[in-house]
Amino acid sequence: MKAVSLLLLLLLPLLPAFGQAALPLDEHGKVVFYEVVNREGTPKEALYAAALGWMGVNAPDYQEEREADGTAYRFTATRQFPVYAKGYVSKQLHGTISYRLTLELKDGRYRYYCNDFVFHYHKVDRTYKVVPTGQTKPLEDAKAAGWQQTWKSHREALAQTMNALAADLKNALQQRAPEVKIAKSATVTENW
């Protein structure tokens, strides 16, 4: 009986860790969402046209770069989305999570990665408007003293948002870009 109680006593501190939303970490311990997607037989120009349309809708403030030798394209953008805490009657804006999105295109494949995730605190000011406080917290921190359940829900919201973003990007780049047809000079005849 003492052995069982000793075992339970040793495992008790580990219980909160099982409920944590596991976010993918890189070799430096930073949260990163990353994937390389193969699109055999698809030229980079077709991927570029599809990515250009997707970035224009989802990240209109993007920046575009090209390799000097013309073998790859790169898009980068800083994005953010709101996260909520439960209020008395309805949800209340608790803050925003910002991150950096990078999309790279080559012949037959592309990769995306999202990193630099930071939570920005918001609060209600004296005129009952929700405004940023200027305080931030990196998403790598697993603990949040005093509001652990809300922090856990924010981390889960991050995972859901990134999975939805990845699915949307894959869907957009799966569709082939329309081929551009160059009109040949035509002769006008009376019998058309």
- Render each residue's pLDDT in the chain as its tens digit; 192 residues: 454 444 444 444 444 444 455 889 888 889 999 999 998 888 888 999 999 999 999 988 999 998 877 778 999 999 999 999 876 677 888 999 999 999 999 998 999 999 999 999 999 889 988 899 999 999 988 888 888 888 999 999 999 999 999 999 999 998 754 444 434 444 444 443
Integer Rg of the chain from CA? 24
**Interhelix angle for 44-58 vs 148-174, to 10°?**
140
Structure tokens at 100: 């950096």
Q: Rounded to two decimals, what is the model's pTM?
A: 0.76
CB count in 10 Å sphere of residue 117: 21
Give the Å distances, CA to CA, from 125 to 104, 130, 184: 41, 6, 64
Interatomic CA distance for residues 115 and 62, integer angstroms? 15
CATH of 22-174, one of 3.30.530.80, 3.10.20.30, 3.40.50.1820, 3.30.200.20: 3.30.530.80
| Identity of the residue numbered 73 | Y
Among 33, 72, 53, 81, residue whose Cα is nearest residue 171: 53
Q: Where are the domains positioned within the chain?
A: 22-174
